Amino acid sequence: MDSEKFLQPTSKLSVRFNLVLIMLLLWTLSQLLIPVKFFSYGMILNYEYLKVAIPATGIVVSTLLYINRLKLNNNLWPFALFNILVLIIIAVKYIFMEPEIGVFQESAKYIIWSIAVFLLFPSVFNSLYKVKIFLRFSTALIVLFFVFIILAVFYLNLDTLYFSNGRLELFYGNPLYLGGIFYSLLCISLILRELSDSNFEKSILLMVVVLSMWVIYMAHARTFMLATLGIYLSYNFNIGRNLKKVSFVIFFILLSFVFIYIIFSESIDLNKLSSNRLLIWAEVMSGNLNYIQLLLGNYSDSGYIKETISQSGIGVKQTFQRFATDNSYIEIFINTGAIGLILFVLGLKKLFPIGMIKEFKKIDREARLVRVLSLAYGVLMSIVITGFFYGSFPSIGNTINSIVFPVVVSIILLLRRHIIVIRRLK
């Protein structure tokens, strides 16, 4: 199989694709710009709602543009059931519980996110060439945004934070949010390097990767440090030979012993080490749940009241609320219960078909597509890891959802379809 032909455009980019591309970039721009903390109270009051309104509108419009091209992968049936379950939960809440509007918004965003990531974007990015175009624009957007904002801060002499408690946060007031942006930049730069044919572009992207790792380190974003390690280990495990795979198994065993020591060591404060996450999780899960709430979710509104703090220190209640616990899986459990969590995790598992990389190794002489697929798997695995310590998905906020998730899912489903075609031809 000639991977060069596989990466070349088969036709001109349509107007429809360009419109969706613009909407995706606007979604990313809204996640970069709107959380910036040096804006005034009046500005935040007027535009804060756009952080969710822009992606939600973009997803709806893009879905309508591609309505005749949408294809649901048969292997992703758990996500279809998950969406049906969410609709049932919304009806139950509305009829019997009458909770605050934030509870409905969170459930609706689950549906919008699932449609976008598993139905819309795989239909839009139906070639690696389109993925490459999107990644180029996204990388340029993030880099140029930070260059422009930093220059504006210096030129206008704005009073904004760069470090807080020794952690780099620039102008976000949240080092983990900054880490999430540069983690996204790291992931898309790595994938784009594999798709690129230009040595110059690869050299630039390598510098972007190093810069992203430095920012993640300076922000002390341990969640994304662990995610970066997950990318490296997963990627090398998939492309490595048996000896290398054995070495990684040994590494994981040693790492497990380290975690066990940390957990059972009395001299280490696990809650402090986790930035109070253990206390938050324990508090969230300590409520008395009846059987209905256990199966379909807890309907408490207490976790939805959030504020954005302006430069003047005045809090602005966020227009669209979410149940934030710094754990994606606990959030899913709280909102959709045990059934929803099982369906969601089963859907994620379906994205990791056994033996797919081995099949590509047999047909891809240059091993280029093997590297692309292995990297996509590595990034997806790292996102799954971040979910244990950061409520990054399912959500239509943050750049992980506007760039990274759509790209890796599209690549995996695209190459899976390619394998199926080859099987039929044999």
Amino acid 141: pLDDT: 94
Would you state the pLDDT for residue 159?
Answer: 59
Report which of residues 89 and 60 the model is more confident about.
Answer: 60
**pLDDT tens figures, 363-419:** 665 577 888 888 898 899 899 988 888 878 888 878 899 899 999 999 988 888 777
What number is the average pLDDT over the span 100-118? 77
Work out the percent of the chain whose per-residue pLDDT is above 70: 67
- pLDDT score of 165 more than 80: no
79 versus 73: which is more confidently predicted?
A: 79
Q: What is the mean pLDDT of the chain?
A: 77
Confidence of residue 187 (pLDDT cuts 50, 70, 90): very high
What's residue 409's pLDDT? 92
The residue that leads in pLDDT, 154 or 16, is: 16
pLDDT tens by residue, 267-293? 555 556 556 666 666 666 666 666 666
> In this predicted model, what pLDDT tens digit does every residue of 223-248 receive, in sequence order?
888 888 888 888 877 776 655 566 66
**pTM listed for this prediction:** 0.83
The confidence band for 191, taking pLDDT boundaries of 50, 70 and 90, is very high
How does residue 52 score in pLDDT terms, banded at 50, 70 and 90? confident
Whether 140 has a pLDDT exceeding 90, the answer reads: yes
Look at residue 394 in the predicted model and tell me its pLDDT. Answer: 83
pLDDT at 253 over 60: yes
If one compares 422 and 31, the residue with the highest pLDDT of the two is 31
* Mean pLDDT of the 117-122 span: 90
* Higher pLDDT pick, 190 / 260: 190
- Look up residue 172 and give its two tokens: 């976000």
Confidence at 310, pLDDT banded by 50, 70, 90: very low
The confidence score (pLDDT) of residue 33 equals: 83
| pLDDT of the residue at 135 | 94
